[in-house]
Structure 1
Amino acid sequence: MERRRGSTLEHALLAAAWAELQRTGYAGFTIDAVARAAGTSRAVLYRRWPNRAALVHATVRAHAGSVTDRVPDTGSLDGDVRALLRELAAGIERIGVDVATGLLGELDEIPDDVKATVPGVVEQVVERARARGEIGDSPVPEAVLAMPGALIRYHVVTERAVPSQDVLDGIADQLLLPLVRHHAGASR
């Protein structure tokens, strides 16, 4: 049998990991089972991913993509915020609440750059609104940029459900949009 390498090997490992995740859920997911399913050793997996959470995150990203690939640009701050929140909820739907909850329980095992994803995409939305002249140039605090992701995570963990449109609208209308406008200031 020909030895797999590079992207061929990584694709096979991530496919085996996704199948295992679907079969066992997050709680039953093990590196050993993925190695067996992929016909390789644990060492091959650990050379790429330092732990279970990092492997699951890579698997989820390979299967469902990343919100960074789909930052909305609807032409307005309100539209972009609503579309972004829907995309975040859709991402949870694609991977499943069980997997999302499991990953959220092991956030300390995931690289820090992953944790900066949601604040980063919210900042992109804010910067586009600035460029269109919808809001002023004052800085928006990091806590405001991180808030939508934190609230969605809280909902997933406490309700064990994907946030409904009503929940997403509440985040947008009652919190994120007013806070962005408050901190950024009036448009030019």
Structure 2
Amino acid sequence: MKERRHAEGTPTRRRGTALENAITDAAWETLAEQGYHGFTYEAVAARAGTSKPVLYRRWPRREDLLVATLARHWNPLDLPDTGSLRQDALALLRTVNAERARLVILLRIQLADYFRETGTSFADLRGRVFPEDQTPPFATIVSRAVERGELPDAARPDRVVNLPFDLMRHDMLMTMGAVPDRTIVEIVDTVWLPLLGLMPSGTRAGH
């Protein structure tokens, strides 16, 4: 493994978390530039300044390295809690738009070879990266709205609850980039809130 040096010239070796972070950072950069086809132990080791055996000891399969890389760079979002379902939804989508557009596109485009090779789906991969009991972000903000009395306590299909992110992800993939803010507002005010029985003002439809 290559050594790094302090400013004063003393050689040091990266170990433990520092080494793993350096490797998964290098793996992320490799994946972003070359896709899964170029996501090899050789390429990642060279970029990280280490050796293939170091990678194999930690991640015996390339798929294991991929999951570790995504777990490091696909962190859960901090959920807004503004006291308003509408404002929570807008804030969450704007955060996703600013921080996740590149990641969403990367996962869908650069991992096409991975999905073909393994016969798995985006949902399968997400299940490996995140704990099974983790509540989806929009389910959390809807649950908070129920607790505040903004929404009635009723069963809602997951497809309805998660619709804002699904619609924005669709636009991201169609345009290969972040979406305009007016699109975010339209998704929330014109589509989602009425579907939940609310008007953009927060009042219930028909009131």
What TM-score comes out, normalization by structure 2 length?
A: 0.68
Aligned residue in 1 for 2:24: 14
Q: CA deviation at 1:132?
A: 1.1
- Does 1:46 find its partner at 2:53? no
| Distance across 2 between alignment mates of 1:123 and 1:175 | 17
Identity level (%): 28
1:1-188 residue pairs with structure 2 within 5 A? 5-21=15-31, 24-26=33-35, 29-32=38-41, 33-38=43-48, 39-41=50-52, 42-44=55-57, 46-47=59-60, 50=63, 54-61=67-74, 65-67=75-77, 70-93=78-101, 95=102, 98-102=105-109, 105=112, 106=115, 107=122, 110-112=125-127, 120-181=136-197
| Distance across 1 between alignment mates of 2:125 and 2:142 | 26
Paired residue secondary structure (2:162): helix
Contact 1:30 1:52 in 2 (8 A): no
Contact 1:85 1:168 in 2 (8 A): yes
Unaligned runs of 5+ in 1: none
| Distance across 2 between alignment mates of 1:5 and 1:114 | 24
Unaligned runs of 5+ in 2: 4-11, 116-121, 199-203
Contact 1:49 1:55 in 2 (8 A): no
Bigger mean CA deviation after superposition, 170-179 or 42-51: 42-51
Q: Could you say which structure has the higher helix fraction? A: 1
Q: CA deviation at 1:123?
A: 0.8
| Distance across 1 between alignment mates of 2:157 and 2:172 | 24
Q: Return structure 1 stretches of 4+ with deviation > 4 angstroms.
A: 1-5, 103-106, 113-119
Contact 1:148 1:176 in 2 (8 A): yes
Residues 40-68 of structure 1 show CA distances to partners (whole Å, capped at 9, x for unaligned) of: 3252463486267535523532xxx432x
Change (3 A) 1:166 1:145: same
Bigger mean CA deviation after superposition, 107-116 or 73-82: 107-116
Q: CA deviation at 1:31?
A: 2.5
Q: How many equivalent pairs are there?
A: 176
**Letter of the structure 2 residue corresponding to residue 58 of structure 1:** A
Change (3 A) 1:160 1:117: farther
